[in-house]
Protein backbone atom coordinates (compact mmCIF):
# COMPACT_ATOMS: atom_id res chain seq x y z
CA UNK A 1 0.00 0.00 0.00
CA UNK A 2 1.25 3.53 -0.82
CA UNK A 3 2.03 5.72 2.19
CA UNK A 4 -1.27 7.13 3.54
CA UNK A 5 -1.80 10.85 2.97
CA UNK A 6 -3.45 12.62 5.90
CA UNK A 7 -4.91 16.16 5.79
CA UNK A 8 -5.83 18.02 8.95
CA UNK A 9 -8.30 20.89 8.34
CA UNK A 10 -7.99 23.79 10.81
CA UNK A 11 -5.06 25.60 12.43
CA UNK A 12 -6.60 26.62 15.74
CA UNK A 13 -5.65 24.91 18.98
CA UNK A 14 -7.42 21.67 18.02
CA UNK A 15 -6.05 21.32 14.47
CA UNK A 16 -2.47 22.09 15.52
CA UNK A 17 -2.50 19.82 18.57
CA UNK A 18 -4.14 16.99 16.62
CA UNK A 19 -1.65 17.26 13.74
CA UNK A 20 1.19 17.26 16.28
CA UNK A 21 -0.08 14.13 18.01
CA UNK A 22 -0.55 12.37 14.64
CA UNK A 23 3.03 13.32 13.68
CA UNK A 24 4.28 11.91 17.02
CA UNK A 25 2.54 8.53 16.85
CA UNK A 26 2.16 7.68 13.19
CA UNK A 27 5.11 6.30 11.25
CA UNK A 28 7.13 8.76 9.21
CA UNK A 29 6.11 7.02 5.96
CA UNK A 30 2.70 8.72 6.32
CA UNK A 31 2.50 12.26 4.90
CA UNK A 32 0.66 14.91 6.92
CA UNK A 33 -0.63 18.23 5.57
CA UNK A 34 -2.35 20.98 7.55
CA UNK A 35 -4.87 23.05 5.58
CA UNK A 36 -6.52 26.11 7.04
CA UNK A 37 -8.33 29.23 6.01
CA UNK A 38 -6.92 31.19 8.98
CA UNK A 39 -3.85 30.88 11.19
CA UNK A 40 -2.76 32.55 14.42
CA UNK A 41 -3.47 35.35 15.37
CA UNK A 42 -6.80 35.13 13.52
CA UNK A 43 -8.45 32.11 15.16
CA UNK A 44 -10.88 31.73 18.07
CA UNK A 45 -8.06 30.08 19.98
CA UNK A 46 -6.12 33.38 19.87
CA UNK A 47 -8.94 35.17 21.72
CA UNK A 48 -9.19 32.67 24.58
CA UNK A 49 -7.74 33.15 28.03
CA UNK A 50 -6.26 29.64 27.75
CA UNK A 51 -6.90 28.66 31.39
CA UNK A 52 -7.01 24.99 32.34
CA UNK A 53 -10.31 24.99 34.21
CA UNK A 54 -12.67 22.47 32.62
CA UNK A 55 -16.03 23.32 31.21
CA UNK A 56 -18.49 20.41 31.51
CA UNK A 57 -19.82 18.74 28.32
CA UNK A 58 -23.27 17.38 29.24
CA UNK A 59 -23.15 14.71 26.50
CA UNK A 60 -19.78 13.19 27.50
CA UNK A 61 -19.28 10.87 30.50
CA UNK A 62 -17.43 12.62 33.32
CA UNK A 63 -14.71 9.94 33.50
CA UNK A 64 -13.87 10.64 29.82
CA UNK A 65 -13.75 14.41 30.41
CA UNK A 66 -11.54 13.85 33.42
CA UNK A 67 -9.20 11.65 31.39
CA UNK A 68 -8.91 14.35 28.67
CA UNK A 69 -8.23 17.01 31.29
CA UNK A 70 -5.68 14.90 33.12
CA UNK A 71 -3.77 14.10 29.92
CA UNK A 72 -3.77 17.78 28.96
CA UNK A 73 -2.68 18.93 32.41
CA UNK A 74 0.11 16.35 32.64
CA UNK A 75 1.40 17.23 29.16
CA UNK A 76 1.40 20.99 29.76
CA UNK A 77 2.77 20.68 33.29
CA UNK A 78 5.83 18.92 31.85
CA UNK A 79 6.26 21.74 29.30
CA UNK A 80 5.88 24.38 32.04
CA UNK A 81 8.68 22.63 33.88
CA UNK A 82 11.07 22.59 30.91
CA UNK A 83 13.32 25.03 29.07
CA UNK A 84 10.55 25.31 26.43
CA UNK A 85 8.09 26.94 28.88
CA UNK A 86 8.52 30.59 27.90
CA UNK A 87 8.58 29.96 24.13
CA UNK A 88 5.56 27.65 24.37
CA UNK A 89 3.78 30.18 26.60
CA UNK A 90 2.83 27.69 29.31
CA UNK A 91 2.93 28.67 32.97
CA UNK A 92 1.42 27.86 36.34
CA UNK A 93 -1.00 30.32 37.89
CA UNK A 94 -2.59 30.30 41.34
CA UNK A 95 -5.82 31.93 42.39
CA UNK A 96 -9.35 31.70 43.62
CA UNK A 97 -12.85 30.80 42.50
CA UNK A 98 -15.22 32.74 44.74
CA UNK A 99 -18.93 32.26 45.47
CA UNK A 100 -21.64 34.36 47.11
CA UNK A 101 -23.63 31.30 48.25
CA UNK A 102 -22.43 28.17 50.05
CA UNK A 103 -21.08 25.49 47.71
CA UNK A 104 -23.85 22.96 47.11
CA UNK A 105 -22.16 20.49 44.82
CA UNK A 106 -19.45 18.04 45.76
CA UNK A 107 -15.93 19.04 44.84
CA UNK A 108 -15.51 19.40 41.05
CA UNK A 109 -14.36 16.31 39.12
CA UNK A 110 -11.05 18.00 38.28
CA UNK A 111 -10.14 18.89 41.88
CA UNK A 112 -7.47 16.18 42.18
CA UNK A 113 -5.87 17.05 38.83
CA UNK A 114 -5.08 20.73 39.52
CA UNK A 115 -2.53 21.43 42.25
CA UNK A 116 -3.24 22.27 45.89
CA UNK A 117 -7.03 22.31 45.61
CA UNK A 118 -8.62 23.45 48.92
CA UNK A 119 -11.30 25.63 50.47
CA UNK A 120 -10.27 29.27 50.92
CA UNK A 121 -9.41 30.36 54.43
CA UNK A 122 -11.36 33.07 56.24
CA UNK A 123 -8.30 35.33 55.93
CA UNK A 124 -8.19 34.89 52.13
CA UNK A 125 -11.91 35.56 51.87
CA UNK A 126 -11.37 39.02 53.40
CA UNK A 127 -10.10 40.05 49.97
CA UNK A 128 -13.62 39.43 48.59
CA UNK A 129 -16.11 41.27 50.85
CA UNK A 130 -19.08 40.37 48.59
CA UNK A 131 -18.27 36.63 48.63
CA UNK A 132 -18.45 34.30 51.61
CA UNK A 133 -17.06 31.09 50.09
CA UNK A 134 -14.32 30.03 47.74
CA UNK A 135 -11.87 27.52 46.36
CA UNK A 136 -8.12 28.01 45.98
CA UNK A 137 -5.94 26.09 43.55
CA UNK A 138 -3.04 26.28 41.11
CA UNK A 139 -3.57 25.47 37.45
CA UNK A 140 -1.91 26.09 34.08
CA UNK A 141 -2.41 28.82 31.53
CA UNK A 142 -1.56 28.75 27.83
CA UNK A 143 -0.57 32.03 26.21
CA UNK A 144 -1.92 32.50 22.74
CA UNK A 145 -0.55 33.19 20.11
CA UNK A 146 2.80 31.81 21.54
CA UNK A 147 1.41 28.31 22.17
CA UNK A 148 -0.08 28.06 18.67
CA UNK A 149 3.15 29.33 17.06
CA UNK A 150 5.21 26.87 19.13
CA UNK A 151 3.06 23.98 17.86
CA UNK A 152 3.32 25.25 14.26
CA UNK A 153 7.11 25.30 14.59
CA UNK A 154 7.14 21.73 15.90
CA UNK A 155 4.90 20.58 13.07
CA UNK A 156 7.31 22.05 10.49
CA UNK A 157 10.23 20.37 12.28
CA UNK A 158 8.32 17.06 11.95
CA UNK A 159 7.95 17.53 8.19
CA UNK A 160 4.26 18.48 8.21
CA UNK A 161 3.28 20.59 5.17
CA UNK A 162 1.23 23.69 6.01
CA UNK A 163 -0.98 25.44 3.42
CA UNK A 164 -3.54 28.24 3.49
CA UNK A 165 -6.74 26.88 1.96
CA UNK A 166 -10.45 27.18 2.60
CA UNK A 167 -12.11 23.80 2.20
CA UNK A 168 -15.69 24.16 0.93
CA UNK A 169 -16.55 20.45 1.15
CA UNK A 170 -14.46 17.60 2.65
CA UNK A 171 -15.10 15.56 -0.50
CA UNK A 172 -13.01 18.02 -2.56
CA UNK A 173 -9.95 16.52 -0.78
CA UNK A 174 -10.62 12.90 -1.79
CA UNK A 175 -8.29 12.76 -4.78
CA UNK A 176 -5.37 14.28 -2.84
CA UNK A 177 -5.72 12.61 0.58
CA UNK A 178 -6.73 9.22 2.02
CA UNK A 179 -7.73 10.47 5.48
CA UNK A 180 -9.09 13.90 6.45
CA UNK A 181 -9.19 15.11 10.05
CA UNK A 182 -11.82 17.78 10.56
CA UNK A 183 -10.73 20.31 13.22
CA UNK A 184 -12.58 23.29 11.76
CA UNK A 185 -14.07 24.57 15.05
CA UNK A 186 -17.20 26.64 14.43
CA UNK A 187 -16.38 26.36 10.68
CA UNK A 188 -17.58 22.73 10.88
CA UNK A 189 -21.16 23.99 11.00
CA UNK A 190 -20.86 24.97 7.33
CA UNK A 191 -18.20 22.47 6.31
CA UNK A 192 -20.14 19.36 7.35
CA UNK A 193 -23.59 20.90 7.99
CA UNK A 194 -23.62 20.05 11.70
CA UNK A 195 -26.77 21.72 13.08
CA UNK A 196 -25.88 20.59 16.63
CA UNK A 197 -22.91 22.96 16.56
CA UNK A 198 -23.61 26.57 17.52
CA UNK A 199 -21.58 29.64 18.54
CA UNK A 200 -21.40 31.01 22.04
CA UNK A 201 -19.97 34.47 21.57
CA UNK A 202 -17.35 35.61 24.05
CA UNK A 203 -16.05 39.15 24.43
CA UNK A 204 -12.94 39.74 26.54
CA UNK A 205 -10.57 42.59 27.35
CA UNK A 206 -6.79 42.22 27.35
CA UNK A 207 -5.29 44.84 29.66
CA UNK A 208 -1.89 45.86 30.96
CA UNK A 209 -1.94 45.33 34.76
CA UNK A 210 1.31 43.52 35.60
CA UNK A 211 0.68 43.76 39.36
CA UNK A 212 -2.22 41.29 39.09
CA UNK A 213 -0.63 37.89 39.75
CA UNK A 214 -3.53 35.65 40.88
CA UNK A 215 -6.52 34.51 38.89
CA UNK A 216 -10.00 35.34 40.18
CA UNK A 217 -13.10 33.58 38.87
CA UNK A 218 -16.55 34.55 40.07
CA UNK A 219 -18.85 31.57 40.64
CA UNK A 220 -19.70 29.84 37.38
CA UNK A 221 -17.08 31.88 35.54
CA UNK A 222 -19.03 34.61 33.75
CA UNK A 223 -16.73 37.21 35.33
CA UNK A 224 -13.02 36.42 35.49
CA UNK A 225 -9.56 37.90 35.74
CA UNK A 226 -6.81 35.69 34.29
CA UNK A 227 -3.27 37.09 34.45
CA UNK A 228 -0.90 36.08 31.65
CA UNK A 229 2.71 36.85 30.76
CA UNK A 230 2.07 40.13 28.91
CA UNK A 231 -1.55 40.99 29.66
CA UNK A 232 -4.46 40.16 31.93
CA UNK A 233 -7.61 38.77 30.32
CA UNK A 234 -10.85 40.19 31.73
CA UNK A 235 -14.09 38.45 30.93
CA UNK A 236 -16.57 37.88 29.86
CA UNK A 237 -19.78 37.06 28.06
CA UNK A 238 -21.62 33.93 26.88
CA UNK A 239 -24.04 34.81 24.08
CA UNK A 240 -25.62 31.72 22.62
CA UNK A 241 -26.19 31.69 18.83
CA UNK A 242 -24.62 35.14 18.31
CA UNK A 243 -22.33 35.23 15.26
CA UNK A 244 -21.29 38.86 15.79
CA UNK A 245 -17.53 39.36 15.81
CA UNK A 246 -17.62 43.12 16.43
CA UNK A 247 -16.87 44.32 19.96
CA UNK A 248 -19.78 45.94 21.77
CA UNK A 249 -18.75 49.10 23.71
CA UNK A 250 -21.53 48.66 26.32
CA UNK A 251 -20.32 45.11 26.99
CA UNK A 252 -16.72 46.35 27.30
CA UNK A 253 -17.75 48.77 30.04
CA UNK A 254 -19.83 46.10 31.79
CA UNK A 255 -16.93 43.58 31.80
CA UNK A 256 -14.52 46.23 33.06
CA UNK A 257 -16.88 47.29 35.88
CA UNK A 258 -17.56 43.68 36.94
CA UNK A 259 -13.83 42.91 37.06
CA UNK A 260 -13.03 46.13 38.97
CA UNK A 261 -15.59 45.20 41.56
CA UNK A 262 -13.69 41.90 42.12
CA UNK A 263 -10.21 43.47 41.88
CA UNK A 264 -10.41 47.27 42.43
CA UNK A 265 -6.75 47.81 41.43
CA UNK A 266 -7.79 47.15 37.82
CA UNK A 267 -9.17 50.69 37.69
CA UNK A 268 -5.56 51.69 36.92
CA UNK A 269 -5.20 49.12 34.11
CA UNK A 270 -3.89 50.50 30.82
CA UNK A 271 -3.82 49.63 27.13
CA UNK A 272 -7.30 48.04 27.00
CA UNK A 273 -7.82 45.90 23.88
CA UNK A 274 -11.12 44.19 23.11
CA UNK A 275 -11.40 40.75 21.47
CA UNK A 276 -14.34 38.62 20.40
CA UNK A 277 -14.44 34.89 19.66
CA UNK A 278 -17.10 32.30 18.86
CA UNK A 279 -16.86 29.19 21.05
CA UNK A 280 -17.63 26.13 18.88
CA UNK A 281 -20.28 24.62 21.13
CA UNK A 282 -22.07 21.28 21.19
CA UNK A 283 -23.41 19.03 23.94
CA UNK A 284 -20.27 16.92 23.40
CA UNK A 285 -17.06 17.14 21.39
CA UNK A 286 -17.52 15.31 18.06
CA UNK A 287 -14.72 12.74 18.12
CA UNK A 288 -15.72 10.18 15.57
CA UNK A 289 -14.74 8.27 12.44
CA UNK A 290 -16.87 8.53 9.30
CA UNK A 291 -16.53 7.07 5.81
CA UNK A 292 -17.66 9.30 2.93
CA UNK A 293 -18.26 7.56 -0.39
CA UNK A 294 -19.33 8.62 -3.87
CA UNK A 295 -19.42 6.48 -7.01
CA UNK A 296 -17.18 3.74 -5.57
CA UNK A 297 -14.55 6.17 -4.24
CA UNK A 298 -14.18 6.63 -0.50
CA UNK A 299 -12.65 9.12 1.93
CA UNK A 300 -11.97 8.30 5.57
CA UNK A 301 -12.76 11.16 7.93
CA UNK A 302 -11.99 11.74 11.61
CA UNK A 303 -13.93 14.56 13.28
CA UNK A 304 -12.48 16.46 16.23
CA UNK A 305 -14.44 19.66 16.85
CA UNK A 306 -17.03 21.23 19.16
CA UNK A 307 -14.82 21.98 22.19
CA UNK A 308 -16.96 24.96 23.24
CA UNK A 309 -15.72 26.88 26.25
CA UNK A 310 -13.13 24.30 27.27
CA UNK A 311 -10.81 23.54 24.35
CA UNK A 312 -7.61 24.49 26.17
CA UNK A 313 -8.51 22.32 29.13
CA UNK A 314 -8.91 19.10 27.13
CA UNK A 315 -7.10 19.59 23.79
CA UNK A 316 -4.24 17.13 24.36
CA UNK A 317 -6.66 14.40 25.48
CA UNK A 318 -8.90 14.84 22.45
CA UNK A 319 -5.86 15.06 20.14
CA UNK A 320 -4.66 11.70 21.47
CA UNK A 321 -8.06 10.15 20.83
CA UNK A 322 -8.28 11.63 17.33
CA UNK A 323 -4.77 10.35 16.48
CA UNK A 324 -5.87 6.91 17.64
CA UNK A 325 -8.86 7.10 15.26
CA UNK A 326 -6.44 8.03 12.45
CA UNK A 327 -4.40 4.90 13.29
CA UNK A 328 -7.61 2.87 12.97
CA UNK A 329 -8.26 4.48 9.56
CA UNK A 330 -4.74 3.54 8.41
CA UNK A 331 -5.38 -0.06 9.51
CA UNK A 332 -8.68 -0.01 7.58
CA UNK A 333 -6.90 1.29 4.45
CA UNK A 334 -4.37 -1.54 4.74
CA UNK A 335 -7.34 -3.93 4.99
CA UNK A 336 -8.95 -2.49 1.81
CA UNK A 337 -5.67 -2.68 -0.11
CA UNK A 338 -4.96 -6.32 0.81
CA UNK A 339 -8.54 -7.31 -0.15
CA UNK A 340 -8.09 -5.51 -3.48
CA UNK A 341 -4.98 -7.64 -4.22
CA UNK A 342 -6.84 -10.95 -3.66
P1 LIG B 1 -10.53 27.66 16.17
O2 LIG B 1 -9.48 28.27 17.01
O3 LIG B 1 -11.67 28.54 15.75
O4 LIG B 1 -9.84 27.04 14.89
C5 LIG B 1 -10.60 26.57 13.78
C6 LIG B 1 -9.68 26.56 12.59
O7 LIG B 1 -10.36 25.97 11.48
C8 LIG B 1 -9.25 27.95 12.12
O9 LIG B 1 -7.90 27.93 11.76
C10 LIG B 1 -10.14 28.19 10.90
O11 LIG B 1 -9.58 29.08 9.94
C12 LIG B 1 -10.20 26.77 10.34
N13 LIG B 1 -11.33 26.53 9.45
C14 LIG B 1 -12.65 26.64 9.73
N15 LIG B 1 -13.40 26.31 8.67
C16 LIG B 1 -12.51 25.99 7.68
C17 LIG B 1 -12.67 25.57 6.32
N18 LIG B 1 -13.88 25.41 5.78
N19 LIG B 1 -11.54 25.33 5.58
C20 LIG B 1 -10.32 25.49 6.13
N21 LIG B 1 -10.13 25.89 7.40
C22 LIG B 1 -11.21 26.13 8.18
N23 LIG B 1 -11.05 27.33 26.66
C24 LIG B 1 -10.38 26.94 27.78
O25 LIG B 1 -10.15 25.74 27.96
N26 LIG B 1 -9.94 27.86 28.70
C27 LIG B 1 -10.21 29.18 28.56
O28 LIG B 1 -9.77 29.99 29.40
C29 LIG B 1 -10.96 29.61 27.43
N30 LIG B 1 -11.30 30.92 27.30
C31 LIG B 1 -12.04 31.31 26.22
C32 LIG B 1 -12.42 32.66 26.12
C33 LIG B 1 -13.14 33.09 25.01
C34 LIG B 1 -13.56 34.53 24.94
C35 LIG B 1 -13.46 32.18 23.97
C36 LIG B 1 -14.17 32.66 22.73
C37 LIG B 1 -13.10 30.84 24.08
C38 LIG B 1 -12.41 30.38 25.21
N39 LIG B 1 -12.07 29.04 25.38
C40 LIG B 1 -11.36 28.63 26.48
C41 LIG B 1 -12.49 28.03 24.39
C42 LIG B 1 -11.42 27.75 23.36
O43 LIG B 1 -10.94 28.98 22.86
C44 LIG B 1 -11.98 26.89 22.22
O45 LIG B 1 -12.54 25.71 22.75
C46 LIG B 1 -10.87 26.52 21.23
O47 LIG B 1 -10.13 27.66 20.87
C48 LIG B 1 -11.45 25.87 19.98
O49 LIG B 1 -10.37 25.63 19.12
P50 LIG B 1 -10.59 25.15 17.62
O51 LIG B 1 -9.24 24.84 17.09
O52 LIG B 1 -11.65 24.10 17.59
O53 LIG B 1 -11.22 26.41 16.89
Q: Return per-residue pLDDT of the chain as tens, 342 residues.
A: 678 999 999 999 999 999 999 999 986 668 999 999 999 999 999 999 999 999 999 999 999 999 999 999 999 999 999 999 999 999 999 999 999 998 877 799 999 999 999 999 999 999 999 999 999 999 999 999 999 999 999 999 999 999 999 999 999 999 999 999 999 999 999 999 999 999 999 999 999 999 999 999 999 889 999 999 999 999 999 999 999 999 999 999 999 999 999 999 999 999 999 999 999 999 999 999 999 999 889 999 999 999 999 999 999 999 999 999 999 999 998 876 666 665
Domains detected in the chain:
5-340 (3.40.50.720)
Q: Which of 101, 51, 59 has its CA nearest to residue 309?
A: 51
Q: Please tell me if the CB atom of residue 97 comes closer than 6 angstroms to any atom of ligand 1.
A: no
CA dihedral 103, 76, 286, 170 (to 10 degrees): 150
Longest dimension (CA), the chain: 76
CB-based contacts of 122: which residues, under 8 Å, 6+ apart?
none
Task: Name the H helices within 231-310.
Answer: 249-262
pTM above 0.85, yes or no: yes
Q: Is the shortest distance between the CB of 50 and ligand 1 below 6 Å?
A: yes
Beta strands in the chain (DSSP E): 5-9, 31-36, 90-99, 115-119, 133-142, 161-164, 179-182, 198-208, 215-218, 223-227, 232-235, 239-240, 270-281, 286-294, 297-305
Q: How close is the Cα of 163 to the center of ligand 1, in Å?
A: 18
Contact 36, 213 (CB under 8 A): no
Cα 140 to ligand 1 centre (Å): 18
- Give me ligand 1 centre to Cα 279, in Å: 6
Q: Whose CA is nearest to atom 36 of ligand 1?
A: 277
Please work out whether the CB of residue 307 comes within 6 Å of at least one atom of ligand 1: yes
Q: Is 309 in the pocket of ligand 1 (CB under 6 A)?
A: yes
Quote the CA–CA distance of 38 and 16 in Å, as a whole number.
Answer: 12
Q: From CA 183, how far away is CA 35, in angstroms rounded?
A: 10
Q: How far is the CA of 12 from the centre of ligand 1 (A)?
A: 5
Does ligand 1 lie within 6 Å of residue 12's CB atom? yes
Amino acid sequence: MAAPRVAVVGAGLIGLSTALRIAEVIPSCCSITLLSEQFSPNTTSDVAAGMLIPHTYPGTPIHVQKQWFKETFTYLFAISNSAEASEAGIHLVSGWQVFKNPLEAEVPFWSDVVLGFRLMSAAELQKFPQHGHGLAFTTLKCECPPYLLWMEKRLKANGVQIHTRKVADLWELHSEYDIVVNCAGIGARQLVGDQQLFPIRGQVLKVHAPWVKNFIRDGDGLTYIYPGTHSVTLGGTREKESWCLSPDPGTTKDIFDRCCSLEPSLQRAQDIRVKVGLRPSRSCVRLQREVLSQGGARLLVVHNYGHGAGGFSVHRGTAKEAAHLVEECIAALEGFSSKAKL
